[in-house]
Amino acid sequence: MLVKFSVCNFLSFKENTSISFSASSLTEYREDNIFDSPINNDLCLLKSLIIYGANASGKSNLFGALNFMKRFVLTSSKDSTSGEEIMVERFKLSTETLNKPSSFELEFIIDSTKYRYGFEVDTKRVHSEYLYYQIKTKEYVLFKREFQDIIRGKKIDKTNEKLFEITRENALFLSVCAQFNDSLATSIMKEFRNINFLNGMDDLGSSEFTARMLTDNTSNGFINTLLRSANLGFKELTVERVATEDLLAKSDIPKELQKIILKNNPENNIVRTKHDVYNEKKEIVSDEFFDLNSNESLGTRKFFALAGPLVDTLLNGTVLIIDEFDSRLHPELCKGIIRLFNSKRNNPKNAQLIIASHNSSFINPGNRLFRRDQIIIARKNKFGMTKIKSLFDLRIRKDASFEKDYLSGKYEDEELDLNVINQFNLDF
Protein backbone atom coordinates (compact mmCIF):
# COMPACT_ATOMS: atom_id res chain seq x y z
CA MET A 1 0.00 0.00 0.00
CA LEU A 2 1.20 3.49 -0.85
CA VAL A 3 2.03 6.12 1.76
CA LYS A 4 3.73 8.91 -0.20
CA PHE A 5 5.22 9.67 -3.63
CA SER A 6 7.65 12.51 -4.36
CA VAL A 7 9.24 13.82 -7.57
CA CYS A 8 11.65 16.63 -8.40
CA ASN A 9 13.07 18.04 -11.65
CA PHE A 10 10.85 16.00 -13.95
CA LEU A 11 8.58 17.43 -16.68
CA SER A 12 6.71 20.35 -15.02
CA PHE A 13 7.97 19.57 -11.49
CA LYS A 14 10.96 21.82 -10.85
CA GLU A 15 10.84 21.59 -7.06
CA ASN A 16 10.24 18.60 -4.83
CA THR A 17 6.51 17.78 -5.04
CA SER A 18 4.58 15.10 -3.15
CA ILE A 19 1.22 13.42 -2.86
CA SER A 20 0.44 11.62 0.37
CA PHE A 21 -2.02 8.94 1.41
CA SER A 22 -1.41 9.73 5.09
CA ALA A 23 -4.71 10.83 6.61
CA SER A 24 -4.73 14.07 8.56
CA SER A 25 -6.54 14.68 11.85
CA LEU A 26 -9.77 15.63 10.04
CA THR A 27 -12.84 13.99 11.53
CA GLU A 28 -15.08 13.74 8.45
CA TYR A 29 -15.77 10.35 6.82
CA ARG A 30 -13.24 8.51 8.98
CA GLU A 31 -15.34 5.35 9.07
CA ASP A 32 -15.22 4.73 5.31
CA ASN A 33 -12.56 6.91 3.68
CA ILE A 34 -9.53 5.95 5.77
CA PHE A 35 -8.06 2.78 7.27
CA ASP A 36 -5.50 1.92 9.94
CA SER A 37 -2.12 0.95 8.56
CA PRO A 38 -0.67 -2.41 9.61
CA ILE A 39 2.24 -0.55 11.27
CA ASN A 40 0.35 1.14 14.09
CA ASN A 41 -2.86 3.00 14.80
CA ASP A 42 -1.05 6.35 14.61
CA LEU A 43 -0.66 6.07 10.83
CA CYS A 44 -4.01 6.07 9.03
CA LEU A 45 -4.13 5.97 5.24
CA LEU A 46 -6.57 7.35 2.69
CA LYS A 47 -8.35 5.00 0.32
CA SER A 48 -8.57 7.51 -2.53
CA LEU A 49 -7.26 10.81 -3.86
CA ILE A 50 -8.77 13.07 -6.52
CA ILE A 51 -6.64 15.56 -8.44
CA TYR A 52 -8.02 18.73 -10.02
CA GLY A 53 -6.40 21.42 -12.10
CA ALA A 54 -6.70 23.38 -15.30
CA ASN A 55 -5.60 21.86 -18.60
CA ALA A 56 -1.78 21.64 -18.72
CA SER A 57 -1.54 22.14 -14.95
CA GLY A 58 0.51 18.96 -14.50
CA LYS A 59 -2.00 16.29 -13.44
CA SER A 60 -0.91 13.86 -16.14
CA ASN A 61 2.74 14.71 -15.49
CA LEU A 62 2.32 13.55 -11.90
CA PHE A 63 1.01 10.19 -13.11
CA GLY A 64 3.80 10.11 -15.69
CA ALA A 65 6.39 10.59 -12.96
CA LEU A 66 5.10 7.65 -10.93
CA ASN A 67 4.79 5.54 -14.07
CA PHE A 68 8.40 6.36 -15.03
CA MET A 69 9.58 5.28 -11.58
CA LYS A 70 7.66 2.02 -11.88
CA ARG A 71 8.98 1.22 -15.37
CA PHE A 72 12.58 2.07 -14.49
CA VAL A 73 12.49 -0.10 -11.36
CA LEU A 74 11.04 -3.03 -13.31
CA THR A 75 13.26 -2.81 -16.41
CA SER A 76 16.58 -1.08 -15.65
CA SER A 77 18.53 -4.29 -15.00
CA LYS A 78 17.48 -6.01 -18.23
CA ASP A 79 20.25 -6.74 -20.74
CA SER A 80 18.29 -4.97 -23.47
CA THR A 81 18.75 -1.63 -21.67
CA SER A 82 22.53 -1.91 -21.15
CA GLY A 83 23.52 0.54 -23.87
CA GLU A 84 20.41 2.73 -23.81
CA GLU A 85 19.86 6.19 -22.41
CA ILE A 86 17.53 6.55 -19.45
CA MET A 87 14.27 8.00 -20.78
CA VAL A 88 13.89 10.72 -18.15
CA GLU A 89 12.91 14.32 -18.89
CA ARG A 90 14.13 17.07 -16.59
CA PHE A 91 12.35 20.38 -16.01
CA LYS A 92 13.41 22.41 -19.07
CA LEU A 93 12.23 25.94 -18.23
CA SER A 94 15.00 26.90 -15.81
CA THR A 95 18.78 27.12 -16.02
CA GLU A 96 18.90 25.94 -12.39
CA THR A 97 17.85 22.40 -13.35
CA LEU A 98 19.98 22.16 -16.49
CA ASN A 99 22.65 19.85 -15.07
CA LYS A 100 20.76 18.36 -12.14
CA PRO A 101 19.34 14.82 -12.00
CA SER A 102 15.65 14.01 -11.64
CA SER A 103 14.63 12.42 -8.34
CA PHE A 104 11.86 9.99 -7.40
CA GLU A 105 10.86 8.56 -4.03
CA LEU A 106 8.14 6.19 -2.87
CA GLU A 107 7.09 5.32 0.67
CA PHE A 108 5.09 2.12 0.99
CA ILE A 109 4.15 -0.65 3.39
CA ILE A 110 4.80 -4.35 2.84
CA ASP A 111 3.27 -6.64 5.45
CA SER A 112 3.85 -4.65 8.65
CA THR A 113 6.99 -2.73 7.66
CA LYS A 114 7.25 0.73 6.12
CA TYR A 115 9.94 1.34 3.49
CA ARG A 116 11.28 4.45 1.76
CA TYR A 117 12.96 3.91 -1.59
CA GLY A 118 14.26 6.49 -4.05
CA PHE A 119 16.84 7.38 -6.68
CA GLU A 120 18.28 10.26 -8.71
CA VAL A 121 18.97 9.83 -12.43
CA ASP A 122 19.83 11.72 -15.56
CA THR A 123 19.77 10.33 -19.09
CA LYS A 124 23.17 8.68 -18.67
CA ARG A 125 23.39 7.18 -15.18
CA VAL A 126 22.06 6.72 -11.68
CA HIS A 127 23.44 9.43 -9.38
CA SER A 128 22.10 8.02 -6.11
CA GLU A 129 19.83 5.27 -4.80
CA TYR A 130 18.68 4.32 -1.31
CA LEU A 131 16.38 2.03 0.64
CA TYR A 132 15.34 2.52 4.28
CA TYR A 133 12.99 0.65 6.58
CA GLN A 134 11.24 2.03 9.64
CA ILE A 135 10.74 0.66 13.15
CA LYS A 136 8.37 2.81 15.21
CA THR A 137 9.53 6.35 14.37
CA LYS A 138 13.15 5.59 13.50
CA GLU A 139 14.54 4.77 10.06
CA TYR A 140 17.36 2.32 9.35
CA VAL A 141 19.38 2.08 6.16
CA LEU A 142 19.31 -1.07 4.04
CA PHE A 143 21.60 0.39 1.38
CA LYS A 144 22.80 3.75 0.10
CA ARG A 145 24.39 4.37 -3.25
CA GLU A 146 26.37 7.32 -4.66
CA PHE A 147 27.06 6.66 -8.32
CA GLN A 148 28.89 3.27 -8.24
CA ASP A 149 29.70 3.28 -4.53
CA ILE A 150 27.17 1.32 -2.45
CA ILE A 151 27.06 1.12 1.33
CA ARG A 152 25.28 -1.92 2.78
CA GLY A 153 23.24 -1.70 5.97
CA LYS A 154 23.34 -4.38 8.64
CA LYS A 155 20.03 -5.99 7.65
CA ILE A 156 20.72 -6.47 3.94
CA ASP A 157 21.71 -9.97 2.82
CA LYS A 158 25.53 -10.30 2.69
CA THR A 159 25.27 -12.47 -0.41
CA ASN A 160 24.16 -9.34 -2.29
CA GLU A 161 27.63 -7.79 -1.93
CA LYS A 162 28.75 -9.53 -5.12
CA LEU A 163 25.89 -7.77 -6.95
CA PHE A 164 27.40 -4.34 -6.18
CA GLU A 165 30.10 -4.86 -8.81
CA ILE A 166 27.80 -6.01 -11.61
CA THR A 167 25.29 -3.13 -11.24
CA ARG A 168 25.68 -0.92 -14.31
CA GLU A 169 25.75 2.86 -13.95
CA ASN A 170 22.42 3.12 -15.83
CA ALA A 171 20.72 0.39 -13.77
CA LEU A 172 19.22 0.31 -10.29
CA PHE A 173 20.81 -1.88 -7.62
CA LEU A 174 17.32 -2.83 -6.39
CA SER A 175 16.44 -4.15 -9.85
CA VAL A 176 19.64 -6.20 -10.00
CA CYS A 177 18.90 -7.72 -6.58
CA ALA A 178 15.41 -8.70 -7.74
CA GLN A 179 16.86 -10.23 -10.90
CA PHE A 180 18.91 -12.53 -8.66
CA ASN A 181 15.85 -13.43 -6.55
CA ASP A 182 16.59 -11.44 -3.41
CA SER A 183 13.42 -11.86 -1.35
CA LEU A 184 13.01 -8.23 -0.20
CA ALA A 185 13.81 -6.79 -3.63
CA THR A 186 11.33 -9.21 -5.20
CA SER A 187 8.63 -8.09 -2.74
CA ILE A 188 9.33 -4.45 -3.56
CA MET A 189 9.15 -5.17 -7.29
CA LYS A 190 5.74 -6.76 -6.68
CA GLU A 191 4.65 -3.58 -4.90
CA PHE A 192 5.54 -1.57 -8.01
CA ARG A 193 3.76 -4.05 -10.28
CA ASN A 194 0.65 -3.57 -8.16
CA ILE A 195 0.47 0.09 -9.22
CA ASN A 196 -1.66 0.13 -12.36
CA PHE A 197 -2.39 3.01 -14.72
CA LEU A 198 -5.36 3.72 -17.00
CA ASN A 199 -6.11 6.56 -19.36
CA GLY A 200 -9.84 7.23 -19.51
CA MET A 201 -9.54 8.27 -23.15
CA ASP A 202 -8.00 4.96 -24.27
CA ASP A 203 -10.09 1.87 -23.52
CA LEU A 204 -8.51 -0.76 -25.78
CA GLY A 205 -6.08 -2.40 -23.38
CA SER A 206 -8.41 -2.32 -20.38
CA SER A 207 -11.33 -3.66 -22.47
CA GLU A 208 -9.24 -6.69 -23.41
CA PHE A 209 -8.27 -7.12 -19.75
CA THR A 210 -11.93 -7.09 -18.70
CA ALA A 211 -12.80 -9.60 -21.43
CA ARG A 212 -10.07 -11.95 -20.18
CA MET A 213 -11.38 -11.63 -16.62
CA LEU A 214 -14.83 -12.66 -17.83
CA THR A 215 -13.41 -16.06 -18.75
CA ASP A 216 -12.60 -16.66 -15.06
CA ASN A 217 -15.52 -17.98 -13.03
CA THR A 218 -14.73 -15.93 -9.92
CA SER A 219 -14.10 -12.54 -11.52
CA ASN A 220 -16.94 -13.11 -14.05
CA GLY A 221 -19.50 -12.95 -11.25
CA PHE A 222 -18.04 -9.78 -9.76
CA ILE A 223 -17.85 -8.01 -13.13
CA ASN A 224 -21.42 -8.93 -14.08
CA THR A 225 -22.66 -7.77 -10.67
CA LEU A 226 -20.85 -4.45 -11.06
CA LEU A 227 -22.20 -3.87 -14.56
CA ARG A 228 -25.77 -4.82 -13.58
CA SER A 229 -25.63 -2.35 -10.70
CA ALA A 230 -24.82 0.41 -13.20
CA ASN A 231 -28.23 -0.07 -14.93
CA LEU A 232 -26.79 0.07 -18.44
CA GLY A 233 -29.78 -1.64 -20.05
CA PHE A 234 -28.58 -5.24 -20.18
CA LYS A 235 -28.61 -8.03 -17.61
CA GLU A 236 -25.53 -10.09 -18.42
CA LEU A 237 -22.27 -10.19 -20.34
CA THR A 238 -20.89 -13.15 -22.26
CA VAL A 239 -17.50 -13.60 -23.90
CA GLU A 240 -16.52 -15.90 -26.75
CA ARG A 241 -13.04 -16.65 -28.08
CA VAL A 242 -13.02 -16.61 -31.87
CA ALA A 243 -10.26 -17.05 -34.44
CA THR A 244 -9.01 -13.69 -35.71
CA GLU A 245 -8.79 -15.26 -39.18
CA ASP A 246 -12.58 -15.69 -39.22
CA LEU A 247 -13.10 -12.05 -38.27
CA LEU A 248 -10.65 -10.77 -40.88
CA ALA A 249 -12.33 -12.81 -43.60
CA LYS A 250 -15.33 -10.47 -43.32
CA SER A 251 -13.23 -7.28 -43.40
CA ASP A 252 -11.67 -5.10 -46.10
CA ILE A 253 -8.27 -4.95 -44.38
CA PRO A 254 -5.37 -5.47 -46.84
CA LYS A 255 -3.85 -8.95 -46.87
CA GLU A 256 -0.40 -7.80 -45.70
CA LEU A 257 -1.90 -6.03 -42.71
CA GLN A 258 -4.03 -9.09 -41.97
CA LYS A 259 -0.85 -11.18 -41.67
CA ILE A 260 0.57 -8.80 -39.06
CA ILE A 261 -2.68 -8.83 -37.08
CA LEU A 262 -2.90 -12.62 -37.19
CA LYS A 263 0.70 -12.97 -35.99
CA ASN A 264 0.13 -10.78 -32.93
CA ASN A 265 -3.48 -11.77 -32.17
CA PRO A 266 -4.41 -15.26 -33.41
CA GLU A 267 -7.59 -15.14 -31.29
CA ASN A 268 -9.95 -12.40 -30.14
CA ASN A 269 -12.58 -12.01 -27.45
CA ILE A 270 -16.07 -11.15 -28.66
CA VAL A 271 -18.11 -9.62 -25.84
CA ARG A 272 -21.90 -9.57 -26.05
CA THR A 273 -24.52 -7.98 -23.85
CA LYS A 274 -27.71 -9.88 -23.03
CA HIS A 275 -30.98 -7.91 -23.38
CA ASP A 276 -34.59 -8.84 -22.68
CA VAL A 277 -37.07 -9.03 -25.57
CA TYR A 278 -40.68 -8.09 -24.66
CA ASN A 279 -44.02 -8.91 -26.28
CA GLU A 280 -46.99 -6.57 -26.67
CA LYS A 281 -47.97 -7.24 -23.04
CA LYS A 282 -44.54 -6.05 -21.82
CA GLU A 283 -43.68 -9.63 -20.85
CA ILE A 284 -40.16 -11.02 -21.31
CA VAL A 285 -40.33 -13.66 -24.02
CA SER A 286 -36.71 -14.16 -25.09
CA ASP A 287 -33.16 -12.78 -25.10
CA GLU A 288 -31.21 -10.79 -27.66
CA PHE A 289 -27.43 -10.50 -27.67
CA PHE A 290 -25.74 -7.26 -28.82
CA ASP A 291 -22.12 -6.93 -29.84
CA LEU A 292 -20.55 -4.65 -27.22
CA ASN A 293 -18.35 -2.71 -29.65
CA SER A 294 -20.98 -2.38 -32.39
CA ASN A 295 -24.29 -1.95 -30.58
CA GLU A 296 -23.55 -0.33 -27.22
CA SER A 297 -22.83 3.33 -26.42
CA LEU A 298 -19.38 4.82 -25.87
CA GLY A 299 -20.23 5.29 -22.20
CA THR A 300 -21.20 1.64 -21.79
CA ARG A 301 -18.00 0.55 -23.49
CA LYS A 302 -15.98 2.84 -21.24
CA PHE A 303 -17.60 1.43 -18.08
CA PHE A 304 -16.97 -2.10 -19.36
CA ALA A 305 -13.30 -1.21 -19.91
CA LEU A 306 -13.04 0.04 -16.33
CA ALA A 307 -14.93 -2.90 -14.81
CA GLY A 308 -12.09 -5.42 -15.05
CA PRO A 309 -9.36 -3.20 -13.55
CA LEU A 310 -11.76 -2.00 -10.84
CA VAL A 311 -12.72 -5.53 -9.79
CA ASP A 312 -9.12 -6.74 -9.98
CA THR A 313 -7.93 -3.83 -7.81
CA LEU A 314 -10.63 -4.33 -5.18
CA LEU A 315 -10.15 -8.12 -5.03
CA ASN A 316 -6.38 -7.87 -4.63
CA GLY A 317 -6.02 -4.68 -2.58
CA THR A 318 -3.73 -2.98 -5.12
CA VAL A 319 -3.46 0.57 -6.50
CA LEU A 320 -5.32 1.97 -9.52
CA ILE A 321 -4.53 5.33 -11.12
CA ILE A 322 -6.95 6.72 -13.72
CA ASP A 323 -6.30 9.85 -15.79
CA GLU A 324 -9.33 11.52 -17.43
CA PHE A 325 -11.46 9.48 -15.04
CA ASP A 326 -14.87 10.92 -15.90
CA SER A 327 -14.46 10.92 -19.69
CA ARG A 328 -17.64 9.56 -21.35
CA LEU A 329 -19.13 8.46 -18.01
CA HIS A 330 -22.28 9.75 -16.31
CA PRO A 331 -21.41 11.57 -13.04
CA GLU A 332 -23.53 9.14 -11.00
CA LEU A 333 -21.54 6.18 -12.33
CA CYS A 334 -18.33 7.99 -11.41
CA LYS A 335 -19.63 8.62 -7.90
CA GLY A 336 -20.53 4.95 -7.61
CA ILE A 337 -16.96 3.95 -8.48
CA ILE A 338 -15.55 6.37 -5.91
CA ARG A 339 -17.90 5.00 -3.24
CA LEU A 340 -16.71 1.46 -3.99
CA PHE A 341 -13.25 2.43 -2.80
CA ASN A 342 -14.40 4.68 0.05
CA SER A 343 -16.23 1.76 1.62
CA LYS A 344 -15.50 -0.84 4.29
CA ARG A 345 -17.88 -3.40 2.83
CA ASN A 346 -16.85 -3.16 -0.82
CA ASN A 347 -13.16 -2.49 -0.21
CA PRO A 348 -12.15 -4.86 2.61
CA LYS A 349 -8.55 -5.17 1.37
CA ASN A 350 -8.03 -1.39 1.37
CA ALA A 351 -7.30 -0.95 -2.32
CA GLN A 352 -6.27 2.60 -3.23
CA LEU A 353 -7.56 4.81 -6.05
CA ILE A 354 -6.03 7.98 -7.55
CA ILE A 355 -8.03 9.82 -10.20
CA ALA A 356 -7.70 13.02 -12.18
CA SER A 357 -10.93 14.78 -13.08
CA HIS A 358 -12.46 18.00 -14.38
CA ASN A 359 -15.90 17.30 -12.89
CA SER A 360 -16.10 19.65 -9.94
CA SER A 361 -19.36 18.13 -8.66
CA PHE A 362 -17.39 15.30 -7.05
CA ILE A 363 -16.07 17.73 -4.43
CA ASN A 364 -19.42 19.29 -3.71
CA PRO A 365 -19.77 18.72 0.06
CA GLY A 366 -23.35 17.56 -0.49
CA ASN A 367 -22.08 14.41 -2.23
CA ARG A 368 -20.04 13.40 0.83
CA LEU A 369 -17.36 11.71 -1.29
CA PHE A 370 -14.04 13.22 -0.24
CA ARG A 371 -12.33 14.68 2.80
CA ARG A 372 -10.29 17.84 2.36
CA ASP A 373 -7.03 15.86 2.57
CA GLN A 374 -8.22 13.70 -0.34
CA ILE A 375 -8.77 16.66 -2.70
CA ILE A 376 -5.55 17.68 -4.47
CA ILE A 377 -5.20 20.85 -6.55
CA ALA A 378 -2.51 20.95 -9.26
CA ARG A 379 -1.52 24.49 -10.19
CA LYS A 380 1.04 25.69 -12.74
CA ASN A 381 2.52 29.16 -12.27
CA LYS A 382 3.80 31.56 -14.91
CA PHE A 383 7.27 29.99 -14.69
CA GLY A 384 5.88 26.65 -15.90
CA MET A 385 6.22 24.96 -12.49
CA THR A 386 3.52 22.64 -11.17
CA LYS A 387 2.70 22.85 -7.47
CA ILE A 388 0.38 20.46 -5.68
CA LYS A 389 -1.49 20.92 -2.43
CA SER A 390 -4.55 19.38 -0.80
CA LEU A 391 -7.43 21.50 0.46
CA PHE A 392 -6.26 20.56 3.95
CA ASP A 393 -2.77 21.94 3.19
CA LEU A 394 -4.38 25.10 1.80
CA ARG A 395 -6.26 25.43 5.12
CA ILE A 396 -9.67 25.48 3.49
CA ARG A 397 -12.49 25.50 6.01
CA LYS A 398 -14.85 22.55 6.37
CA ASP A 399 -17.88 24.72 5.60
CA ALA A 400 -16.36 26.28 2.45
CA SER A 401 -18.01 25.81 -0.94
CA PHE A 402 -15.27 23.67 -2.48
CA GLU A 403 -16.84 23.36 -5.93
CA LYS A 404 -17.75 27.01 -6.30
CA ASP A 405 -14.39 28.24 -4.99
CA TYR A 406 -12.47 25.87 -7.25
CA LEU A 407 -14.37 26.98 -10.36
CA SER A 408 -13.88 30.65 -9.47
CA GLY A 409 -10.10 30.18 -9.36
CA LYS A 410 -9.78 30.74 -5.62
CA TYR A 411 -7.37 27.83 -5.27
CA GLU A 412 -5.01 28.97 -8.03
CA ASP A 413 -1.36 29.77 -7.32
CA GLU A 414 -0.55 33.34 -6.40
CA GLU A 415 2.11 33.37 -9.14
CA LEU A 416 -0.29 32.16 -11.82
CA ASP A 417 -0.85 34.74 -14.53
CA LEU A 418 -4.60 35.14 -13.98
CA ASN A 419 -4.81 37.94 -16.55
CA VAL A 420 -4.17 35.38 -19.27
CA ILE A 421 -7.09 33.27 -18.04
CA ASN A 422 -9.45 36.21 -17.64
CA GLN A 423 -8.72 37.38 -21.18
CA PHE A 424 -9.63 34.01 -22.71
CA ASN A 425 -12.63 35.36 -24.59
CA LEU A 426 -13.08 34.37 -28.21
CA ASP A 427 -15.46 36.04 -30.66
CA PHE A 428 -16.51 34.21 -33.80
Q: What is the CATH number of the domain that holds 342?
A: 3.40.50
DSSP 206: H
pLDDT at 424: 45
- Domain match, 53 and 150 both: yes
Q: What is the pLDDT confidence band of residue 92, given thresholds at 50, 70 and 90?
A: very high
Beta-bridge mates of residue 52: 377
Instruction: Tell me if 48 sits within 8 A of 83, measured CB to CB.
Output: no
Q: How many residues does the structure list for the chain?
A: 428
Q: Which helix (H) or strand (E) holds 115?
A: strand 113-121
Q: Final residue of a domain: which of 283, 310, 337? A: 310
Residue 420 has pLDDT above 50, yes or no: no
Q: Identify which of 344, 329, 347, 373 has the alpha carbon closest to the alpha carbon of residue 49.
A: 373
Asked if residue 328 belongs to a domain, the reply is yes
Residue 306 has pLDDT above 60, yes or no: yes
Judge if 292 and 183 occupy the same domain: no
Give the C-alpha separation, 337 to 222, whole Å. Answer: 14
Q: What would the mean pLDDT of 237-265 be, rounded to a whole number? A: 66
Which domain does 108 fall in, by range?
A: 1-194+317-428
Residue 131 is predicted with a pLDDT of: 97
Statement: residue 419 has pLDDT above 50: no
**pTM score, two decimals?**
0.89
Indicate the pLDDT class of residue 348, thresholds 50, 70 and 90: very high
How many domains does the chain fold into?
A: 2
